[in-house]
Amino acid sequence: MEAARDNLIFNLESWPEAGQRVDFALAPSTLSPYLEAAMTQDGDVLEGEPPQLLSSLRGWLSLDLFGRRLRLRGSFSVKVELTCHRCLALFEDKIGDTIEESVDLVAPGEEAADRETVVEVVDNHFDLTPLLCELLWLSWPMKVLCRPDCLGLCLSCGANLNEGLCSCGKTQRIRH
């Protein structure tokens, strides 16, 4: 069995006619520049910190090339650190998703007709890492809870009600 790839850079010159299947394991340090860049939208910096990845992004891809269109199928998962939206506690979880995408391979500066997703080919090489980071962002949960029955914070004193009753004795809590 072939070892998992540590990059998603492919060479069109040596592309197998039958397509290819690759297993990958991308280290957090490989993904960090892409995730930080994704936090900038139209020159505006999004609030918050880049996501904290606690493991390599692991998965597999099946890649089929039809002319200049690449079809990707596969899946990925990564262990992450999240902040609970009710109690603000940090906790670990796993994020993953399946991949079903078609992208156009284009030369730098070239636009693809009627396609949103394009990947630039430079010197017969293309990198799918930015696309995978985008898919990771799209899989990121909008609202997360450390546990389904999270009690949240006391509205009066701010105590984490998961850790016990607060000292103020009021029962109001933050829930959303």
User: Could you read off the pLDDT tens digit of each residue along the chain, which spans 176 residues?
Assistant: 467 888 999 999 989 988 999 999 999 999 888 877 766 655 554 555 667 899 999 999 999 999 889 999 999 999 999 999 999 999 999 999 999 999 999 888 777 666 678 888 999 999 999 999 889 988 888 888 999 999 998 888 888 999 988 888 766 655 55
Domain encompassing residue 175: 149-176
174 lies in the same domain as 108 = no
120 belongs to a structural domain? yes
pLDDT of residue 2: 62
Number of domains composing the chain: 2
74 lies in the same domain as 154 = no
**What is the Cα–Cα distance from 133 to 115, expressed in whole angstroms?**
19
Picking from 20, 99, 17, the residue whose alpha carbon sits closest to that of residue 58 is 99
141 lies in the same domain as 162 = no
162 lies in the same domain as 91 = no
157 lies in the same domain as 92 = no
165 lies in the same domain as 79 = no
**What is the Cα–Cα distance from 176 to 172, expressed in whole angstroms?**
13
Q: What is the pTM of this model?
A: 0.81
115 lies in the same domain as 157 = no
pLDDT of residue 37: 74
pLDDT of residue 167: 81
117 lies in the same domain as 157 = no
pLDDT of residue 58: 96
120 lies in the same domain as 56 = yes
H-run or E-run covering 33? helix 28-38
109 lies in the same domain as 172 = no
14 lies in the same domain as 73 = yes
Tokens for 164, please give them. Answer: 């016990």
| Residue the block writes with tokens 């959303």 | 176
1 belongs to a structural domain? no
- Rg of the chain, C-alpha, whole Å: 21
